[in-house]
Structure 1
Amino acid sequence: MNILLTGGAGFIGRWVAKRLLDDGHDIWILDDLSNGRRENLDEFADHPGLRSFIEGDIKDEALLGDIFAVHHFDICYHLGASINVQDSIDDPRTTFNNDTIGTFYIMEQCRKHNVKAVFMSTCMVYDRCTDETGITEAHPTKPASPYAGAKIAAENMVLSYYYAYDLPVVVIRPFNTYGPFQKTGGEGGVVAIFIRNKLAGLDLNIYGEGTQTRDLLYVEDCARFVVEAGYSDRVNGQIVNAGLGRDISVNDLARLVVGEESCIKHVPHIHPQSEIQKLLCNYEKAKSLLGWEPAVSLEEGIARTEAWIKTSHLM
């Protein structure tokens, strides 16, 4: 197939690109490099299936119009977005424009050219989990940050194209994803930051009490989920979760990464009003409709991520 991947130079996008190339598709990647890095794609520079890398903005309607008109895509995997919760609190306009308005421009091209859209949302749209059965797709949403609010707005718009135009779309909500190629600095995820600090001999700083829990999904499992959602007609018009199905407190995660507690410190939370105390994924819908379930345990995923950070000299 001919496939457009927005945000393909990003952390998850890079792994989605690899999966699509391994499956034999021709892909075009659109990324403005505000979050992604061109070097994430170096491995594929000579791959015949990577037809083009386009440095551009999803809000550039003329650019989108040209790309869609020329290449006759079968699927658009739309991962391009502003993804940082604190940035959305500090500057909600940028997040809304990228995540909601930018998604609208993508959807208009998909409608015009009858291209299936796979929209990457987030578990951050959910209210806290209240029991051990986990968060299903029917769980209440709560826009606790402008990031979550922008994603909820975009989700509803994407689904409206299914109902109004019979356009094949799916909204996917992966839980907290980690693994190789994730940034290890302030914009990175908690696993990557903890591992980097451990290797550098630095303290592991935990926001707040550290009792908040996260369901951590290894990136290759996430990429497999994203790609399969595009292949299947069974999820058209649906919202689908993906996660490990196991949550862990940030305190316990820090102990798992570092092995002892002397370097674990607690610091004031930067956005306590937008914290979700418990996140635990129920992925039964993905298992039922896609035959998907995670293959990599948290312990194995952390080991793989640490090995990658060591070899990449990101300490």
Structure 2
Amino acid sequence: MRPESPDFREMPIAIIGGSGFIGSNLADSLLSDGELVLVIDNLSRPGVEQNLEWLTQKHGSRLTIEIADIRDAEALAPLVARSKAVFHFAAQTAVTTSLVRPDEDFDVNLRGTFNVLEAARRSGKRTPVVFASTNKVYGRLADLAMREEDGRYAPRDAAIHAHGIDETRGLDFCTPYGCSKGAADQYVLDYAKSYDLPTAVLRMSCIYGPRQFGTEDQGWVAHFLLSAFSDRPITIYGDGKQVRDILHVADAVAAYRAVLDRIEEISGQAFNLGGGPQNAVSLRMLLKEIRDITKRDVSIRYDRERTGDQPFFVADTRAIEALGWKAHVPWQNGIRDLADWLQRHRLDPHPEPARYVA
């Protein structure tokens, strides 16, 4: 993203959903580098006020906070119009909630994203929009043949085993959450084609790290740690052999910034974002690591597999690595970092179920 004038440089970068986990970490990174940041949020998720208090205390007047909901197009438009770029993290984040309230899921994830895009388009400034999507846009991946390897699932396809799933994989929306995020993902990409709006999409795997308010439905790495620290049982849906490539939030923030820095040349593209094969862990592997960290005998309960759950997802990150990005935090180090942060801050281990931010 190239500065065009002194006025442009004094415009803030908007982070919609900026009081949340990834948004607040991104805000801190940008503010620390001298950027002005505008956080747009409706504060609907319990506990996120703590993130805004932290940002305000650390950065003061370089941070502006506006309480607004992305479903309110009239309130959103002038905020986007005064921003030089937009990161869009606001979402209803839980598959379980989407199955119970598909109408709310649709309004927040799809209608809300449409409002963001329209606000950027009507600003008349070609305002860049970088959208936080999800690996759920690829569906359950039921066609991938699996085998068990060291007590976890592994794909039989040699290329996927070596590198993970890349962006050429066909989309296959499953569950209302997958549909709303997937449709929003496609709208964001289309606005680059139809309206020449600089946009990009990051399809995220599992991001974890400090400032995460983990619940059973979303932010499960933090949820596992919080449950262990509070001696509460952890429920595993399925057999625990499911594999995810977990990525520390510091690396995720660096990826979002790399995309914005190159937005003009990569506009209209989607990137898979995760820890890659080197950070691929099964739920059972993670629980063993948590036992080692906490020195506690974590109680595990098993329940039936959840609708739309993927037995395996590891992101092929070679496309985003071509932008100069790389995951630097090994998952074992990252889990210990999160555990240390949780112990220092002792966040409520039993927050309300995940809803949406902004």
TM-score w.r.t. length of structure 2? 0.82
Counterpart in the other structure of 2:129 = 117
1:164 aligns with 2:194: yes
* Distance in structure 1 (CA, Å) of the matches to 2:26 and 2:211: 12
* Distance in structure 2 (CA, Å) of the matches to 1:50 and 1:147: 35
Q: Is the 8 A contact 1:254 1:264 kept in 2?
A: no
Sequence identity percentage = 29
1:40 aligns with 2:51: yes
Q: Which amino acid aligns with 2:52?
A: L
* Distance in structure 1 (CA, Å) of the matches to 2:168 and 2:61: 38
Of structures 1 and 2, the one scoring higher in RCO (CA 8 A, sep 6+) is: 2
What value does the CA root-mean-square deviation take over the aligned residues? Answer: 1.9
Q: Is the 8 A contact 2:189 2:201 kept in 1?
A: yes
Structure 2 residue corresponding to 1:211, chosen from 233, 238, 241? 241
Q: Is the 8 A contact 1:209 1:266 kept in 2?
A: no
* Distance in structure 2 (CA, Å) of the matches to 1:241 and 1:234: 17
In structure 2, the residue corresponding to 1:239 is in which secondary structure?
Answer: strand
How many matched pairs?
311
Q: Is the 8 A contact 2:31 2:63 kept in 1?
A: no
Counterpart in the other structure of 1:198 = 228
Q: Is the 8 A contact 2:200 2:267 kept in 1?
A: yes
* Distance in structure 2 (CA, Å) of the matches to 1:279 and 1:287: 18
Q: Deviations over 1:71-103 (max 9, x none)?
A: 2x2111111111111001111111111111011
* Distance in structure 2 (CA, Å) of the matches to 1:143 and 1:208: 21
Structure 1 residue corresponding to 2:314, chosen from 265, 280, 302? 280
* Distance in structure 1 (CA, Å) of the matches to 2:254 and 2:51: 18
Counterpart in the other structure of 1:263 = 298
Q: Deviations over 1:247-282 (max 9, x none)?
A: 21111111121138953423213x622111101111
Deviation at 1:48, TM superposition (A): 4.5
Q: Deviations over 1:9-62 (max 9, x none)?
A: 001111111111122111111111123612112222142563421111011111
Unaligned ranges ≥5, structure 1 = none
Counterpart in the other structure of 1:306 = 339
Tell me: CA distance 1:55–1:187, structure 2 relative to 1, closer, same or farther (3 Å): farther
Comparing 228-237 with 157-166, which one deviates more in the overlay? 228-237
Q: Deviations over 1:161-205 (max 9, x none)?
A: 111111111011121101111113445422111111222223332
1:242 aligns with 2:295: no
Q: Which amino acid aligns with 2:167?
A: E
Deviation at 1:223, TM superposition (A): 1.2
Unaligned ranges ≥5, structure 2 = 1-8, 145-154, 350-358
Q: Deviations over 1:265-300 (max 9, x none)?
A: 23213x622111101111000011x21011101000
* Distance in structure 1 (CA, Å) of the matches to 2:215 and 2:93: 15
Structure 2 residue corresponding to 1:175, chosen from 198, 205, 210? 205
